[in-house]
Amino acid sequence: MKQPFEIRGKIRLKDFDADFCDGMDKDDAKEETTKLCQRIGDLQELLYANSTHALLIVLQGMDASGKDGTSKRVLEFVDPIGVETANFKAPSTEERAHDFLWRIHKAVPRFGRIGVFNRSHYEDVLIVRVLNLQPPKVWKKRYDQINDFEKMLTLNNIVLLKCFLHISKEEQAERFRARLEDPTKNWKFSVEDLKIRQHWNAFQQAYEDAINRCNTDHAPWHIVPADRKWYRDYVIAKAVVKALEKLRMKWPKPKEDLSKIKIV
């Protein structure tokens, strides 16, 4: 089975082990993740101070793959003022009156912020495809439109970090059971999730096609093993640090000569 990595070339999801952890110890990984998350907090301050770029983390995955948990953990030490999140569900009447990317572009984070998309524009080639919400002649055009959109974002200083949280069908079942058995998690359970689960194979194929069709040099995909929550968080935290450090940010110089300022 292949390790999690920034995708190059065509892939098959069945070649990736959702339970992969690279032989890491759970406690060691959690300790390292905390260090990485603290580093993210420091880098976010630099990002905010400069306000010339934004980082957009796109999280896609089957239900219970950990999109919410990942955001909470990875951004644990980030100042809330520097984070913008969006969760894309069924489009509203207003959103349906525009092109499918209209609501997405509105949610792109401002410079200086880290944005998180819990689901994203990829829903329009995933659930739309699997549940036949649009005919093939409509959604098949969207791969190229997504690539053009993402290219435009990156040319305008939006750093894209696209992560597919790869969970196994068996682990998803365990997490659904946990939601049923724990009163504090009952609210997370939805019968609709079981209906989607019935289309598991179709969704896996749709994800595989989306990754292959929309994996570009400017916006590559990352396949993240998600059966072990602690390893999932470690992988994504490491990727976020790498993306921010690549910007080589420095503290901006003051606009005025501070040596002449006296506070009395």
Between the alpha carbon of residue 168 and those of residues 81, 108, 175, 189, 228, the distances in Å are: 35, 30, 11, 18, 10
Question: pTM for this structure?
Answer: 0.95
Query: Binning pLDDT at 50, 70 and 90, where does residue 8 land?
Result: confident
The token pair at 124 is 């329009």
Which amino acid makes up residue 128?
V
pLDDT 10s digits, 116-157? 999 999 999 999 999 999 999 999 999 999 999 999 999 999
Which amino acid makes up residue 201?
N
* Residue indicated by tokens 């098949």: 140
Distance CA 164, CA 223 (A): 5
pLDDT 10s digits, 70-79? 999 999 999 9
* Residue indicated by tokens 């690279």: 22
Q: Strand 114-118's sheet: what is its strand order?
A: 83-87, 114-118, 54-61, 158-166, 221-225
pLDDT 10s digits, 202-214? 999 999 999 999 9
Distance CA 47, CA 154 (A): 16
Residues 6+ apart with CB under 8 A from 31: none
Distance CA 213, CA 115 (A): 23
Query: Binning pLDDT at 50, 70 and 90, where does residue 260 land?
Result: confident
CATH class for the region spanning 13-248: alpha beta
Residue 252 DSSP class: P
Give the residue-averaged pLDDT of 167-190.
94
- Report percent pLDDT > 90 for the chain: 89
Helix residue ranges per DSSP H, the chain? 26-50, 67-74, 93-96, 102-106, 127-130, 136-139, 142-155, 169-181, 191-197, 200-213, 229-245
Question: Can you give the pLDDT at residue 2?
Answer: 54
The mean pLDDT of the chain is 95
DSSP-derived pairing of the beta strands 221-225 and 158-166: parallel
Q: Are 233 and 26 in contact (CB under 8 A)?
A: no
Which amino acid makes up residue 41?
G
Reply yes or no on whether the pLDDT at 186 is more than 80.
yes
The token pair at 152 is 């435009």
Residues 6+ apart with CB under 8 A from 128: 134, 139
Between the alpha carbon of residue 22 and those of residues 109, 172, 186, 234, the distances in Å are: 33, 21, 33, 11
Distance CA 224, CA 127 (A): 20
